[in-house]
Amino acid sequence: MLEKIKHAAAFIDGRTSGFRPEVGIILGTGLGGLVDHIAIRHSIEYADIPDFPVSTVEGHKGRLIFGELGGRRIVAMQGRFHYYEGYTPQQVVFPVRVMKFLGIARLFVSNASGGTNPTFRVGDLMVINDHINLIPNPLIGPNIEELGPRFPDMKGAYDPSLIALATEIAGKEGIKLQYGCYVGLTGPTFETPQEYHYVRAIGGDAVGMSTTPEIIAARHMGIPCFGVSIITDLASDDSVSHEVVQEQGRRAEKEMTRLFIGMLAEL
Ligand code: HPA
Q: What is the mean pLDDT of each run of 10 residues along the chain (267 residues)?
A: 95 94 90 90 94 68 91 93 94 97 97 97 96 98 96 97 98 96 97 97 98 98 97 89 84 91 96
Q: Is the CB of 113 under 6 A from ligand 1?
A: yes
Contact indicator for 121, 194 with CB cutoff of 8 Å: no
Range of the domain at 137: 2-266
Q: Is the CB of 67 under 6 A from ligand 1?
A: no
Predicted local distance difference test score (pLDDT) of residue 187: 95
Residues 6+ apart with CB under 8 A from 193: 235
Backbone phi, psi, residue 43, to 5°: -145, 130
Predicted local distance difference test score (pLDDT) of residue 55: 62
Q: Is the CB of 232 under 6 A from ligand 1?
A: yes
Query: Which domain CATH number covers 199?
Result: 3.40.50.1580
Q: How far is the CA of 241 from the centre of ligand 1 (A)?
A: 9
Predicted local distance difference test score (pLDDT) of residue 61: 63
Predicted local distance difference test score (pLDDT) of residue 83: 95
Predicted TM-score (pTM) of the model is 0.95
Domain count, the chain: 1
Predicted local distance difference test score (pLDDT) of residue 249: 80
Predicted local distance difference test score (pLDDT) of residue 252: 86
Q: Is the CB of 114 under 6 A from ligand 1?
A: yes
Backbone phi, psi, residue 26, to 5°: -115, 125
Predicted local distance difference test score (pLDDT) of residue 133: 98
Tell me the C-alpha distance between 32 and 57, whole Å: 13
CA 230 to chain centre: 11
